[in-house]
């Protein structure tokens, strides 16, 4: 079975040709220093939260990065239930049955295997809560994140792999990174999304359409380019490879631009020099 994560679905939905480049042809472009440092910070924070959930010592890790320690302390103050892993009501009927950090679940969906990894999932007999740590400092629009494939897939898979109804599930994104010098008393922001049977059914229909389309594209060996009217090509790493580079684009000058252009060269795209 071919695994499909939220990143697969997002890219497939946006541009099948880019999906082919990234996941079938294993192509990628260079990342900037800022992207690398942001990814590293996020990986370290996720590791810190995983160790904390396992009741392992985190002092050395947190002391090595004052910003990360402050972000973690602010999250603990704003959302103590994240660290306690207990239902807020304290009702015995909602006794905790399961909680795990970096929890992986899979679900067979036709010829594909839907795959999710929850930063933290907390399950009881009455509710299921998904928590996700976002480490970029500028949260996206709430409406955009609600329709993002991560939100939709994570809730769908949890509903399909537990006895809980859609209305008993929720997903909360915590925007944990406060910056190098956050204002005193600043708290991390969050978005919390509920779920419903109508949303579950719509996600299932969309997944069916998208996977059916992927099957056809694989069988025909044809992954079409995104419509140029969508305006996604100008900032795409593969616009040269797809002959979609802006006509007025200046020659690459920075090292990052040169690396990006070089990564997209092929034998067919380089003109032969007559001797």
62: tokens are 């947190």
| pLDDT tens-digit map of 125-184 | 999 999 999 987 788 899 999 999 999 999 999 999 999 999 999 999 999 988 765 555
| pLDDT of amino acid 69 | 83
The pTM of the full predicted model, rounded to 2 decimals, is 0.83
Catalogue the E-assigned strands of 128-222. 128-134, 169-175, 189-194
| pLDDT of amino acid 15 | 95
Rounded Cα–Cα distance for residues 19 and 145 (Å):
21
Give me the residue spans of the domains in the chain.
2-220, 227-275
Rounded Cα–Cα distance for residues 100 and 119 (Å):
8
| pLDDT tens-digit map of 106-115 | 999 999 999 9
* CATH code for the structural domain at 2-220: 3.90.320.10
pLDDT at 73 over 90: no
Question: Which of 128, 193, 130, 192 is closest to 163 using CA atoms?
Answer: 128
250: tokens are 């200046």
pLDDT band at 86 (very low <50, low <70, confident <90, very high): very low
| Dihedral sign of CA atoms 112, 113, 117, 120 in order | positive
pLDDT band at 271 (very low <50, low <70, confident <90, very high): very low
pLDDT at 214 over 90: yes
pLDDT band at 256 (very low <50, low <70, confident <90, very high): low
- Which tops the pLDDT comparison, 259 or 49? 49
pLDDT band at 57 (very low <50, low <70, confident <90, very high): confident
% of the chain surpassing 70 pLDDT: 81
Range with the largest mean pLDDT of 34-38, 67-71, 82-86, 239-243: 239-243
Name the CA dihedral angle for 172, 178, 179, 182, rounded to a multiple of 10 degrees: 170
């Amino acid at each position: 079975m071919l695994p499909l994560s939220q990143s697969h679905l997002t890219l497939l939905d946006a541009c099948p040709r880019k999906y082919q480049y990234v996941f079938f042809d294993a192509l990628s472009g260079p990342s900037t220093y800022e992207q690398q440092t942001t990814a590293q910070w996020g990986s370290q924070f996720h590791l810190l939260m995983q160790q904390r959930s396992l009741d392992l010592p985190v002092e050395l890790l947190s002391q090595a990065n004052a910003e990360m320690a402050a972000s973690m302390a602010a999250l603990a103050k704003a959302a103590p239930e994240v660290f306690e892993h207990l239902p807020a009501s304290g009702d015995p009927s909602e006794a905790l049955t399961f909680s795990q950090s970096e929890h992986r679940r899979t679900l067979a969906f036709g010829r594909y295997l839907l795959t999710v990894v929850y930063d933290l999932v907390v399950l009881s007999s009455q509710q299921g809560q998904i928590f996700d740590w976002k480490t970029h400092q500028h949260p996206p629009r709430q409406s955009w994140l609600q329709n993002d494939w991560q939100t939709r897939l994570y809730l769908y898979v949890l509903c399909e792999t537990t006895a809980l109804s859609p209305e008993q599930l929720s997903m909360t994104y915590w925007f944990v990174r406060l910056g190098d010098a956050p204002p005193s008393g600043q708290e991390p922001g969050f978005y919390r999304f509920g779920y419903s049977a109508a949303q579950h059914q719509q996600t299932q229909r969309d997944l069916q359409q998208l996977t059916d389309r992927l099957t056809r594209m694989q069988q025909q060996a044809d992954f079409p380019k995104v419509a140029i009217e969508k305006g996604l090509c100008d900032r795409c790493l593969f616009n040269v490879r797809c002959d979609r580079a802006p006509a007025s684009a200046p020659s690459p000058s920075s090292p990052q631009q040169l690396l990006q252009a070089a990564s997209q060269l092929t034998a067919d795209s380089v003109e032969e020099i007559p001797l």
